[in-house]
Chains A and B, each alone.
Chain A
Amino acid sequence: DTGVSQNPRHKITKRGQNVTFRCDPISEHNRLYWYRQTLGQGPEFLTYFQNEAQLEKSRLLSDRFSAERPKGSFSTLEIQRTEQGDSAMYLCASSLAGGGGNTIYFGEGSWLTVV
C-alpha cells in the first residue's frame, strides 16, 4: 500500500493524558499536513510541513499540540494534557509542493476519544 498511513486508527484516552499519532506520507511527497475533523464539519487545518520545516500553524494548534517531521519523512502529532474537546478525527495528508490543483491525499485518519 503506497498511500498515506496513520496509526493508531483509534485511541481512547483519559482526560489529562498525552497521546501521539504517527503519519507516514506517500514516499515522494514533500508536503505533509495535519487536519482535525469533527462530525458534520469539514477538515480544519492544523499545520503543515515542507520537508522537515514546519511552514504554518493554525491558531487551532494550542500550546498543548506539537507536531514534528524529523528528516522530512514521517510525522508525529502529540497532544498533551488532553481535554474532552480534543475528541475528533485527526487526518494526515501529503502532497507534492506546487502540484497541479494542490491535490492532497489523505490517510484514513486517527480517531481520538477523550473520556
Chain B
Amino acid sequence: GQSLEQPSEVTAVEGAIVQINCTYQTSGFYGLSWYQQHDGGAPTFLSYNGLDGLEETGRFSSFLSRSDSYGYLLLQELQMKDSASYFCAVPRGDLFFGTGTRLTVIP
C-alpha cells in the first residue's frame, strides 16, 4: 500500500516561517510534489523534488530525503493569502495525494 502522512493543521503568524512535514510509504518512489489549495479552489502545483535536497521557488522551498522517506515544504515571510491547504503527493501514473495540512496564518 501507499501512505502519506502530514499534520492536519498548522497555525502561524504573518511574517513568520512555517514547515509542513510529509512522511511517505510507497513502492516505486519517483519524487515528491507539493500542491496548494485555497477553499473552494483547485489544487495548484507548488514544487517537485525528484532528487534529495532543497528546491527553492521564491518564498517557498521544498526538501526531500529519500533515505528518511521524508520531505517538507517551507514557507517564509508568511502572508495572509498563504492560508490554504497544502498537500504532498507522489507520482505513480496518476498522482497520489496525502490528506493535506490546513495552514492558518494569523495577524
Interface set of A (CB-CB < 8 Å, partner B)? 33, 40-45, 48, 55-56, 91, 93, 100-109
Query: Are B100 and A102 interface neighbours, CB within 8 A?
Result: no
Q: Which residues of B, 87-106, contact A by the 8 Å Cβ criterion? A: 87, 89, 91, 93-100
Query: Are B93 and A56 interface neighbours, CB within 8 A?
Result: yes
Query: Are A101 and B91 interface neighbours, CB within 8 A?
Result: yes
State how many angstroms separate the Cβ of B10 from the closest Cβ of chain A.
Answer: 15
Q: Give the contacting residue for B91; candidates A41, A44, A102, A108; CB below 8 A.
A: A102
0/1 string, B36-51, CB within 8 A of A gives 1: 0000011111001010
Report chain B residues within 8 Å CB of A105: 45
State how many angstroms separate the Cβ of B3 from the closest Cβ of chain A.
Answer: 12
B: number of interface residues (CB 8 Å) = 21
Q: Which residues of B, 54-107, contact A by the 8 Å Cβ criterion? A: 87, 89, 91, 93-100
Report chain A residues within 8 Å CB of B100: 40-42
State how many angstroms separate the Cβ of A110 from the closest Cβ of chain B.
Answer: 11
**Given A101-B33, A101-B91, also A106-B96 (CB < 8 A):** no
Query: Are A103 and B97 interface neighbours, CB within 8 A?
Result: no
Q: Give the contacting residue for B95; candidates A100, A104, A109; CB below 8 A.
A: A104
Report chain A residues within 8 Å CB of B30: 102
**Given A42-B98, A43-B97, A45-B94, also A102-B33 (CB < 8 A):** yes
Query: Are A103 and B48 interface neighbours, CB within 8 A?
Result: yes
Query: Are A102 and B95 interface neighbours, CB within 8 A?
Result: yes
Report chain A residues within 8 Å CB of B31: 101-102
Query: Are B42 and A107 interface neighbours, CB within 8 A?
Result: yes
Report chain A residues within 8 Å CB of B33: 101-103
Report chain B residues within 8 Å CB of A107: 42
State how many angstroms separate the Cβ of B20 from the closest Cβ of chain A.
Answer: 13
Query: Are A100 and B99 interface neighbours, CB within 8 A?
Result: no
Report chain A residues within 8 Å CB of B94: 33, 45, 48, 56
Query: Are B43 and A43 interface neighbours, CB within 8 A?
Result: yes
Report chain A residues within 8 Å CB of B98: 42
